[in-house]
Structure 1
């Protein structure tokens, strides 16, 4: 059954009511609507809880797509209770985790502004994200960090616009990713825009993001790795390099 994915229109929605439409043999739960993001485009799916009418909770270990992008399956942890089809549940996203992923995903977009090379891979994480670029040039990680923090500090608005699948097909150059294509087949594609009138960036993306760059907070490029002759992997982490060194117990004697 096609689900109404509420997060596509409101990244900050962390709770809603929904009706169970199917329960799979392996325990996976389908709902008529959801605020839980399903794993896609390098961003992990949401975790959290489904609350039943009697107050008991069903803890979720992951959220994923089914056979297509119009199917979202909420996967409980082991030995959790199974709801009944037709039962109404209250959904609670693990918000601190989701918000960190939103901040990180937005940081990845900012990095793609500074490094204007084709993207060959990406993965968004709570503590660290990575973006791979098709590039052979040597670049200084501290310089990239400074440029990232400049964009963060300028507090540009981050918002989404919608285009049709046909409009995307007619403008393929707006896609920065070299290997992963934006999700199509739902009739519309989300453009994540940064800056007034997309002055900083605009690219198709189905992930979740913060509403202004300042929310990203302090980030830095922890490492740039050479992955092949023409591939560089950038690792983004929260905090400053100095904080990271202190956490590792490094000392400058």
Structure 2
């Protein structure tokens, strides 16, 4: 199992690690700052620097379904590092920070639209959530409300509860289509001040104001009571 350094500190930009395996599926190390694809958030990109100084571009990061190990996907044909080799992993930080801002924005959107979430995804520069709503909200009113919540500068804090405690508090789960990361004995809760509290395994900014100004790109009907709201950065 790969140690996920980003779970405690999403602002870590690089780390040293030991290669556990390296093959056509990817490079697995004992610890990483790279977030793997999951929970609607894309996997991180960046570089792996070998002991020789050779740099391998990391195109994506994902989890092996069987072992749970993080696979750092490198370009086809790259000279793979050796088993036991010490390497340095460095994030494409600008991209990661944009993803952190947008993921945090999705939490604020949950506050602005108090309805069950039926799906969602995040990309570089935009994100969307699907809500179980009979009627879509007004675009301008929603945009104003969302930016007001963001500008309230809600500090982000992390805490942990047991799987059992999570099962006893189902009201904390906002996303109906994605279950919280359970099974490891504990669940991480992400709190933004007095605004939002929910289980989440993604990466987030230190306070809501760091998200910056956003705009409502679109509000679409995706079913009888399914409203898809897409958000993008205003600048």
- Fold shared per TM-score above 0.5: yes
What is the aligned counterpart of 2:209 among 202, 208, 214?
214
4+ long deviations beyond 3 Å:
none
Q: Which residue of 2 aligns with 1:13?
A: 12
Structure 1 segment 35-184 matched on structure 2, within 5 A: 35-68=33-66, 70-184=68-182
Structure 2 unmatched runs, 5+: none
Conservation of the 8 A alpha-carbon contact between 2:214 and 2:232? yes
Conservation of the 8 A alpha-carbon contact between 2:25 and 2:71? no
Structure 1 segment 213-252 matched on structure 2, within 5 A: 213-239=208-234
For the pair shown, the structure with the greater C-alpha radius of gyration is 1
Are residues 32 and 128 of structure 1, via their aligned partners in 2, closer, same or farther at CA, if it must alter by over 3 Å? same
Shift of 1:3: 1.1
C-alpha distance after superposition, 1:3-45 (max 9, x if no partner) = 1110001000010000001123x24111000010001100001
| Secondary structure at 1:101 match in 2 | helix
Conservation of the 8 A alpha-carbon contact between 1:21 and 1:86? yes
Of stretches 105-114 and 66-75 in structure 1, the one that deviates more from structure 2 is 66-75
Shift of 1:160: 1.3
C-alpha distance after superposition, 1:180-234 (max 9, x if no partner) = 1011112211111011xxx211000000000011110110111100001110000
Q: Distance in 2 between matches of 1:70 and 1:193?
A: 26
Shift of 1:69: 7.6
Shift of 1:68: 4.9
C-alpha distance after superposition, 1:28-84 (max 9, x if no partner) = 111000010001100001000000112110111110011258421111122222011
More strand by share: 2
C-alpha distance after superposition, 1:97-131 (max 9, x if no partner) = 00000000000000001111110111011122110
Q: Distance in 2 between matches of 1:159 and 1:124?
A: 21
TM-score by length of 1: 0.90
Shift of 1:155: 0.9
Query: Number of residues paired by the alignment?
Result: 235
Of stretches 156-165 and 6-15 in structure 1, the one that deviates more from structure 2 is 156-165
TM-score by length of 2: 0.97
| Secondary structure at 2:18 match in 1 | strand
Structure 1 unmatched runs, 5+: 241-253
1:28 aligns with 2:40: no
